[in-house]
Amino acid sequence: MSVILRVVLDQVAQIVDPDQAGAALDLAAGLVQTAPSGCSVEAIVPAGGSAGIAGLTGTRTLGLARRELAASWQLGLAPGVGGGLIHAPSMMAPLVKHDRLHNDDQVAVTLWDLSPWDAPSTLPKSTVAWHRGMLRRAVRHADAVVVPTHAMAARLSEIARLGDRVRVIAGAPPEGFSAPDDAAARREEHTLPAEYLVLAGSFGDLEQGFRAAAAADTDVVVLDAAEGAEPRLAEMAAAAGLAERRAHIRGALHSADRAAVLAGASAFVATNPAGVWPWRAMEAMALGVPIVAVDSGVHRDVIAEGGSLVASEGLADAVAEAVGAGSKRLSVLADDRARAFSWASSAERVWSLHADL
């Protein structure tokens, strides 16, 4: 008997979170490539969407666009979806009552970020409400809730009563993520200096990164700054001792530009200890950029021996070491650690998860 795994690709027509949208496509492609004998992959997409992944055996196009679909599924309404084995690479899933025992119906969802519970003030209220509502539905109806790190699994078990339904399957760097041939030209277009650190973290955590850069006497590039945050971040950098015009604040960049910026960095500094999959740290490791990170459960799970994990008070010394004598060693460690992650490996674990269920 053939087995079909149906993957929810909710952002193929409307991208809400570029990182999660890319991860969903990479995972779906990995599921096609690693499908066991007798198994195949179908896509579930909102109205107006097209999966565009080679090897899919079919696509179920629903009657609602993504925004309306999110509201419908939050209310427990999932007409037209059908049953079978459903895997959602996010919390967007038809979490409704189903019969796993007699009909072999399964629904697994994925949670990449615990901020709606641990740092709700950093997100719009509507986003927090939607995620919390979907987790409540997952407690009632999900056969598994996937998180990318063991630290997040432990924290999720404190937030919701999921028992042994919490499973850990790591993410990976984006497929094909590498420095473009015109990386130097792209950095010049962004008016970046020859040497700089790259910072990524929440607003409240970036100050310690600025202080470390000031101590190392180097420029800083901040990635993924929220729209309108540049003046406040520039003031924070100045207050931390970073000279004027040495803090380069950038918003969300396209993949090639982001790769160019990361590839030119002397080091990447991860200051956010929260329960969030560290998308930029993973990309930096894939490029062999020396990594310095504030010690946390997530960073221990993901970066591990691939970088320098230090307490907040030791960040400045670690950064100085990373851009100096330790640069080559940390670059090799980052590259080696990144090789432990791939979407093919993640896909194989997803197949095993549904087989176990």
Average pLDDT over residues 21-44: 97
Q: What is the pLDDT of residue 158?
A: 97
Q: Are 247 and 264 in contact (CB under 8 A)?
A: no
Q: Which pTM was predicted?
A: 0.95
Neighbour-count burial for 7-39, b at 16+ CB within 10 Å, e otherwise? bbbbbbeeeeebbbbbbbbbbbbbbbebbeeeb
> How does residue 102 score in pLDDT terms, banded at 50, 70 and 90?
low
Helical spans, DSSP H, in 63-181: 66-74, 100-103, 115-118, 125-141, 150-159
Q: Are 39 and 4 in contact (CB under 8 A)?
A: yes
Which CATH class for the 183-338 domain?
Answer: alpha beta
In the predicted model, is pLDDT for residue 92 greater than 80? yes
Give residue for tokens 């696509």: 59
The pairing of strands 58-61 and 39-45 is: parallel
pLDDT tens-place string over residues 200-218? 877 778 999 999 999 999 9
Q: Are 180 and 260 in contact (CB under 8 A)?
A: yes
Q: What is the pLDDT of residue 205?
A: 86
Work out the percent of the chain whose per-residue pLDDT is above 90. 87
Work out the percent of the chain whose per-residue pLDDT is above 70. 99
Instruction: Tell me the two tokens of residue 274.
Output: 């929260």
In terms of Cβ atoms closer than 10 Å to its own Cβ (0-12, 13-18, 19+), residue 60 is middle
Q: What is the pLDDT of residue 79?
A: 85
In the predicted model, is pLDDT for residue 113 greater than 60? yes
CATH superfamily name and code, 3-172+342-356: Glycogen Phosphorylase B; (3.40.50.2000)
Q: Which one, of 147, 280, 130, 261, lies nearest residue 197 by Cα?
A: 261
> How does residue 98 score in pLDDT terms, banded at 50, 70 and 90?
confident
Q: What is the pLDDT of residue 204?
A: 79
For helices 18-33 and 343-356, give the axis angle rounded to 10 degrees.
Answer: 70
Give residue for tokens 């049953």: 83
> How does residue 52 score in pLDDT terms, banded at 50, 70 and 90?
confident
Q: What is the pLDDT of residue 50?
A: 87
**Cβ within 8 Å of residue 352, ≥6 positions away:** none
Q: Which one, of 117, 167, 114, lies nearest residue 143 by Cα?
A: 167
Instruction: Answer positive or negative: Cα dihedral of 56, 62, 67, 69.
Output: negative
Q: Which one, of 205, 254, 251, lies nearest residue 229 by Cα?
A: 251
Helical spans, DSSP H, in 34-103: 66-74, 100-103
The domain ranges of the chain are 3-172+342-356, 183-338
Instruction: Tell me the two tokens of residue 255.
Output: 């993949």
In the predicted model, is pLDDT for residue 1 greater than 60? no
